[in-house]
């Protein structure tokens, strides 16, 4: 089966390159880094007498999740080399912004056997730490062949993903069996990993690393606004929305029909701001873009703000009265629920939450989260939240919940030390 997989990777390579070149944020700087996708990198400053910890964090979300992990590794192993790979440009930019030259960084090579082997010969890592659900067969096989421990942290495996992996059951079981350690987010995830062939003795369950990542608050908002208007308005931030969700949420906003509310739409992919703008223009609604000619201003005189660049969610949650989590009104499984929790605001979503099932269930139990599946249901949730004056209770519950789940970073690093020593 691995032979056919390798054949497919070579066949798919031209398609992967075309998709990369046609990304809207692809630039000349990205073109100059294309060799990294083929496993090439000129290494300087790497001390081969020290351990090399390799962390793979796909994009911005995984980078944010791994910040505390990387800092803990640097604290415990001050002389070690820390290599962090990403897949996306946004993930790369975020990593460089946070760590600058304190870590080594390059893009993860395509999962073609030749590129992976070249990468491993260059870096000679002592272990590979994958964040969440990054399963690349050649990467895992070649690390296993070279006796490089492969660790899957913050691991999750939804029932939907399990069904898909079981379509190639033997190949999946052989791949998952090569993982040396898995720290899963829930017992359900652990059970699914075992079903796919992972060694039950190598699997642990711990709270999400995202709880420890909640420490990183902005010192000030990443945009300006009229403070007098802010005192009058109620802000509803709809985060990480996907196609069709913006229309439903706007309809909820219309049903709410409250002149003192301001709707903020934050598409998962900022380039979608253009199509959302066209929709609102056709509806005859006053709106503005958050980043307009480099002037980042939240214009509360308009009905709606569309966020057309990444990096503002924390700031938006800090001034919001309500949050809606995108990817839940479609079969996507939801985006990160925890970022608004730390600000103690009521949260709403649709029913598709399988990416964060246990967290969503707990937030429902604590009455922090309410779920609706159409515009009318969501509007009723928002209306009830505004009429409920006991906001301090939600803040108190949110704070206690986060505090009860912290500490997984240190516990994970302790287990990594046990494994590699």
- CATH number for the domain spanning 351: value is 3.40.50.2000
Q: Which pLDDT band, with edges at 50, 70 and 90, does 391 fall under?
A: confident
Q: What is the mean pLDDT of residues 32-57?
A: 92
Q: What's the distance, Cα to Cα, between the start and end of the chain in Å?
A: 33
Distance CA 40, CA 320 (A): 45
Mean pLDDT of 278-286: 96
Residue 168 pLDDT: 92
Which residue(s) pair with 268 in the sheet? none
Q: If 0-12 CB within 10 Å is exposed, 13-18 middle and 19+ buried, where does residue 232 land?
A: exposed
Which region, left, alpha or beta, applies to residue 71 given φ > 0 means left and ψ of -120 to 50 means alpha? alpha
What Rg value do the Cα atoms of the chain yield, rounded? 22
pLDDT recorded at residue 218: 56
At 153, give phi and psi (nearest 5°).
Answer: -105, 155
Claim to verify: residue 233 and residue 126 sit in the same structural domain? no
Which burial class, exposed, middle or buried, applies to 341 when counting CB atoms under 10 A from its CB (0-12, 13-18, 19+)? buried
Same domain as 359, residue 244:
yes
Of all residues in the chain, the percent with pLDDT exceeding 70 is 98
Q: What is the pLDDT of residue 204?
A: 97
Both 196 and 304 in one domain: the answer is no
Assess if residue 172 is contained within a domain. yes
DSSP 8-state symbol, 78:
T
When pLDDT is averaged across residues 384-394 and rounded to a whole number, the result is: 88
pTM: 0.88
Alpha carbon distance 249, 265 (integer Å): 9
pLDDT mean over 270-291: 95
Burial class (CB in 10 A: 0-12, 13-18, 19+), 155: buried
300 close to 225: Cβ distance less than 8 angstroms: yes
257 and 396 inside one domain? yes
Whether residue 219 has pLDDT greater than 80? no
State the pLDDT confidence band at 307, using cuts at 50, 70 and 90.
very high
Domain count, the chain: 2
Residue 214's pLDDT is 85
pLDDT-derived band at 414, boundaries 50, 70, 90 = very high
Q: Does the pLDDT at position 293 exceed 80?
A: no
Grouping H, G, I as helix, E, B as strand and the rest as coil, residue 406 is coil
Is the pLDDT assigned to residue 78 strictly greater than 80?
A: yes
In a domain, 217, yes or no: no
DSSP per-residue string spanning 124-176: --SEEEEESS---HHHHHHHHHTT--EEEEEE---HHHHHHHHTTHHHHHHHH
Name the residue among 305, 225, 296, 294 with its Cα closest to residue 262: 305
Asked if 334 contacts 359 with a C-beta cutoff of 8 angstroms, the reply is: no
Q: Give the structural domain span for 379.
A: 224-404
Hey, how many other C-beta atoms are within 10 angstroms of the C-beta on 272? 17
Does the pLDDT of residue 221 top 90, yes or no?
Answer: no
Write out pLDDT tens, residues 323-352.
999 999 999 999 989 999 999 999 999 999
Q: Which of 103-117, 203-217, 255-269, 276-290 has the lowest mean pLDDT?
A: 203-217
Residues 234, 194 share a domain: no
Q: Is the pLDDT of residue 151 over 70?
A: yes
**Is residue 143 in a domain?**
yes
pLDDT in tens, 4-37: 898 999 899 999 888 888 776 677 788 889 999 9
CB of 46 closer than 8 Å to CB of 104: yes
């Amino acid at each position: 089966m691995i032979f056919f997989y390798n054949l497919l990777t070579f066949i798919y390579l031209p398609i992967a390159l075309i998709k990369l070149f046609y990304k809207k944020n692809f630039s000349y700087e990205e073109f100059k880094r294309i060799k990294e996708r083929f496993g090439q990198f000129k290494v300087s400053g790497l001390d081969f007498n020290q351990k090399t910890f390799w962390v793979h964090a796909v994009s911005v979300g995984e980078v944010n999740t791994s910040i505390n992990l990387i800092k803990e590794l640097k604290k415990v192993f001050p002389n070690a080399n820390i290599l962090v790979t990403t897949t996306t440009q946004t993930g790369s930019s975020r990593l460089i912004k946070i760590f600058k030259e304190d870590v080594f960084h390059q893009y993860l090579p395509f999962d073609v056997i030749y590129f992976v082997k070249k990468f491993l010969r260059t870096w000679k890592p002592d272990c590979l730490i994958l964040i969440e659900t990054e399963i690349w067969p050649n990467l895992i096989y070649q690390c296993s062949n070279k006796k490089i421990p492969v660790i899957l942290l913050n691991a999750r495996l939804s029932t939907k993903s399990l069904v898909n992996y079981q379509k190639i059951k033997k190949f999946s079981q052989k791949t998952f069996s090569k993982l040396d350690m898995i720290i899963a987010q829930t017992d359900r995830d652990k059970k699914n990993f075992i079903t796919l062939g992972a060694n039950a003795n190598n699997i642990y369950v711990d709270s999400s690393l995202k709880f420890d990542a909640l420490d990183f608050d902005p010192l000030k908002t990443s945009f300006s606004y009229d403070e007098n208007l802010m005192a009058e308005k109620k802000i509803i931030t709809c985060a990480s929305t996907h196609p069709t969700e913006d229309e439903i949420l706007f309809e909820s906003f219309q049903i709410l029909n409250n002149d003192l509310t301001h709707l903020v739409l934050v598409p998962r992919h900022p380039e979608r701001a253009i199509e959302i703008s066209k929709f609102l223009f056709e509806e005859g609604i006053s709106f503005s873009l958050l980043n307009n000619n480099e002037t980042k201003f939240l214009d509360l005189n308009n009905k709606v703000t569309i966020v057309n660049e990444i990096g503002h969610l924390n700031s938006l949650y800090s001034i919001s009265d309500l949050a809606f989590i995108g990817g839940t009104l479609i079969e996507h499984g939801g985006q990160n629920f925890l970022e608004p929790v730390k600000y103690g605001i009521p949260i709403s979503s649709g029913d598709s939450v399988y990416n964060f099932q246990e967290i969503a269930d707990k937030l429902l139990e604590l009455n922090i989260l309410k779920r609706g599946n159409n515009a009318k249901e969501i509007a009723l949730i928002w209306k009830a939240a505004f009429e409920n004056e006991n906001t301090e209770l939600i803040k108190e519950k949110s704070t206690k919940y986060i505090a009860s789940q912290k500490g997984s970073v240190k516990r994970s690093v302790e287990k990594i030390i046990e494994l590699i020593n």
